[in-house]
């Protein structure tokens, strides 16, 4: 049993040569491509991580930019709404002022027309009263002054009382 446990020198040499040959073959054909594949995989993962980090940073910047644009858009919208409200209020005020001015002009025109009509009515009334007074005076004088003597006395009295004397 002891002979099996102690190897012979030739076996050790041939086993060492076979081991070195297998080691050389593995190193030449297996480890090189395996290590190259591992290096490629490692670089690919590192590149993907760097790309993901860059994309995350870009997304953060875009998010901040979008937030700023949204704030600016809201501020612009609020400004436009405020300006629209002010413009609408101004238009309503202008319309009220124009309507008030038009109403005042209509009222003044109506007052002027009423005053003219009133003056015309008063003048017509005075003329009518004057005509009636003349008719009444004429009738009274006819009845009272039927004789020539009474007419002469009245004419003389009126001449004496006239302001021309």
Q: Does the residue 34 lie in any domain?
A: yes
Rounded Cα gap, residues 13 and 134, in angstroms? 174
Rounded Cα gap, residues 35 and 41, in angstroms? 10
Q: What is the pTM of this model?
A: 0.40
Number of structural domains (the chain) is 1
Mean pLDDT per segment of 10 residues, for the chain of length 165 residues? 68 91 86 86 93 94 92 94 94 93 92 92 83 73 68 74 62
pLDDT of res. 44: 93
Q: Does the residue 81 lie in any domain?
A: yes
Domain span at residue 95 reads: 14-161
pLDDT of res. 80: 95
pLDDT of res. 54: 95
Dmax over CA atoms of the chain, in Å, equals 204
pLDDT of res. 2: 54
Rounded Cα gap, residues 51 and 119, in angstroms? 99
pLDDT of res. 145: 63
Closest CA to 103 of 114, 95, 91: 95
Rounded Cα gap, residues 118 and 137, in angstroms? 28
Can you give the length of the chain in residues? Answer: 165
Q: Does the residue 119 lie in any domain?
A: yes
């Amino acid at each position: 049993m002891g002979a099996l446990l102690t190897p012979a020198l030739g076996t050790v040499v041939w086993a060492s040569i076979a081991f070195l040959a297998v080691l050389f073959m593995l190193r030449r054909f297996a480890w090189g491509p395996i290590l190259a594949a591992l290096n490629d995989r490692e670089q690919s993962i590192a590149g993907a991580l760097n790309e993901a980090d860059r994309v995350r940073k870009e997304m953060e910047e875009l998010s901040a930019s979008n937030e700023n644009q949204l704030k600016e858009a809201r501020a612009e919208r609020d400004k436009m709404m405020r300006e629209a409200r002010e413009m609408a209020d101004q238009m309503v005020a202008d319309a009220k002022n124009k309507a008030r001015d038009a109403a005042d002009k209509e009222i003044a025109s109506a007052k002027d027309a009423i005053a003219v009509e009133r003056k015309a009515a008063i003048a017509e009334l005075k003329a009518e009263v004057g005509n009636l007074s003349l008719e009444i005076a004429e009738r009274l004088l006819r009845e009272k002054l039927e004789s020539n003597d009474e007419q002469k006395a009245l004419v003389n009295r009126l001449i004496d009382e006239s302001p021309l004397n």
